[in-house]
Amino acid sequence: MTWLTLIVDTDAQHAEVLSDALLERGALSVDLLDADADTPDEQAIFGEPGEPPPGVWQHNRVSALFDANADVTRILMGAASDIGLAPVPLHRIETLDDNDWVRLTQSQFEPIRISDRLWIVPSWHTPSSPQAINIILDPGLAFGTGSHPTTRLCLRWLDNHLQKGVSVLDYGCGSGILAIAALKLGAAQAVGVDVDAQAVSASFANAIANHVENASFHLPDAIPKASTGEYLTGHMYDLVIANILTNPLRLLAPLLADAAKPGGQIVLSGILEAQAQDIISIYQQWFDFDAPVFEEGWSCLCGRKR
């Protein structure tokens, strides 16, 4: 069967309403992506505990799927009229076959080598190194497939430095990849926290797919109590890892510092190289830091709590 894909670039004001209008006029599905993804203008969006969900990007790419008989141009014109968007935005229409759709999607995600012993492998691939530690992870709604430099930096740190038997807090767990990797590398316990309910669900599913035990994932307001206090406030963790963004790392500094045991470690990423020293200056009231590690303009910071 053949499908038609409508691709429209639009601004933050119109992205969601245009998506809704296309669905109302017969689109089978609509995806909303950052039109600047994989460019220097890529914009990360995030939410914080107790705040409304994050918004959309400044430059959005709306991708809508229709059956082969749909008059896609007419539908777009009608949807634009419905929301008062004039003139009709620049767009293109692509033809997609069933097999091409699956093949195109899967071809974009090859196994990712983190190190000689650690790989990220989509479920449709045979592991390149069966003897390695292979994390089975398919692309999904949650951040963290191993393709972004910040995720790779954190995974390499875990591969090189994680001590067996430690407890781990992964704040901003996304797909759960760092918590799962920590457990496969020998951690005794991993707790993941994310402000996005879809990320929590994805992390649970990925943990099951990887057959890891002693993993739990929670929204910030739903973290269970341990016998010695709250997971985030009882100095419970040997390692706290947070691959999020600079602004939430600033805001969360006291919370993340309190979550680390004295003598425990913290690993921070999602930080642009130019912002590394700013984050170090905030966290060094609690931690002594090693030299930052950089990759493709991103930073990974590691410190030990005094």
3-class DSSP assignment, residue 211:
coil
Q: Phi and psi at residue 133, in whole multiples of 5°?
A: -85, 110
State the Cα–Cα distance between residues 161 and 179, nearest whole angstrom: 14
User: Do 8 and 62 reside in the same domain of the chain?
Assistant: yes
3-class DSSP assignment, residue 216:
strand
State which of 107, 128, 148 marks the end of a domain: 107
Q: In this prediction, what percent of the chain has a pLDDT beyond 90? A: 58
The answer to which of 13-17, 96-100, 143-147 has the lowest mean pLDDT is 96-100
pLDDT, tens digit (0-9, with 9 covering 90-100), for 109-118? 678 889 989 9
CATH code for the domain in which residue 9 is found: 3.30.70.120
pLDDT, tens digit (0-9, with 9 covering 90-100), for 246-290? 999 999 999 999 999 999 999 999 999 999 999 999 999 999 999
Please determine, for residue 242, whether its predicted confidence score (pLDDT) is greater than 70: yes
Mean pLDDT calculated for residue range 196-215: 92
The answer to which of 75-79, 144-148, 154-158, 276-280 has the lowest mean pLDDT is 144-148
State the Cα–Cα distance between residues 80 and 8, nearest whole angstrom: 11
User: Do 55 and 76 reside in the same domain of the chain?
Assistant: yes
User: Do 161 and 265 reside in the same domain of the chain?
Assistant: yes
User: Do 228 and 147 reside in the same domain of the chain?
Assistant: yes
Domain hosting 130: range is: 112-305
Q: Which residue has the higher pLDDT, 2 or 196?
A: 196
Q: List the one residue out of 62, 76, 139 whose CA is nearest residue 107.
A: 139
3-class DSSP assignment, residue 109:
coil
As a residue count, the chain comes to 306
User: Do 129 and 221 reside in the same domain of the chain?
Assistant: yes
3-class DSSP assignment, residue 253:
helix
CATH code for the domain in which residue 117 is found: 3.40.50.150
Q: How many CB atoms lie within 10 A of CB 213?
A: 9
Q: Answer for the pair 293, 277: CB distance below 8 angstroms, yes or no.
A: no
User: Do 44 and 64 reside in the same domain of the chain?
Assistant: yes
User: Do 165 and 148 reside in the same domain of the chain?
Assistant: yes
Mean pLDDT calculated for residue range 178-207: 94
State which of 107, 131, 157 marks the end of a domain: 107
Q: How many domains does the chain have?
A: 2
Sign, CA torsion 124/143/271/234: negative
Query: What dihedral angle (degrees, nearest 10) is formed by the CA atoms of 218, 224, 228, 234?
Result: 40
User: Do 301 and 159 reside in the same domain of the chain?
Assistant: yes
User: Do 228 and 82 reside in the same domain of the chain?
Assistant: no
Residue 95: what pLDDT? 87
pLDDT, tens digit (0-9, with 9 covering 90-100), for 80-91? 999 998 888 889
Residue 228: what pLDDT? 42
User: Do 281 and 152 reside in the same domain of the chain?
Assistant: yes
Highest-scoring range by mean pLDDT, 24-38, 195-209, 226-240, 290-304 = 290-304
State which of 89, 107, 125 marks the end of a domain: 107
| Two tokens, residue 209 | 């797919």
Per-residue confidence band for 7, with pLDDT thresholds at 50, 70 and 90: very high
The set of residues, in sequence order, having a beta carbon less than 8 Å from that of 199 and lying 6+ positions away, is: 141, 142, 143, 173, 174, 175, 176, 217
Please determine, for residue 158, whether its predicted confidence score (pLDDT) is greater than 50: yes
Residue 35: what pLDDT? 66
State the Cα–Cα distance between residues 191 and 173, nearest whole angstrom: 9
The set of residues, in sequence order, having a beta carbon less than 8 Å from that of 74 and lying 6+ positions away, is: none
Mean pLDDT calculated for residue range 103-128: 76
User: Do 138 and 176 reside in the same domain of the chain?
Assistant: yes
User: Do 157 and 264 reside in the same domain of the chain?
Assistant: yes
DSSP string, 34-83: ETTTTSTT-------TTSPPP---SEEEEEEEEETT--HHHHHHHHHHHT
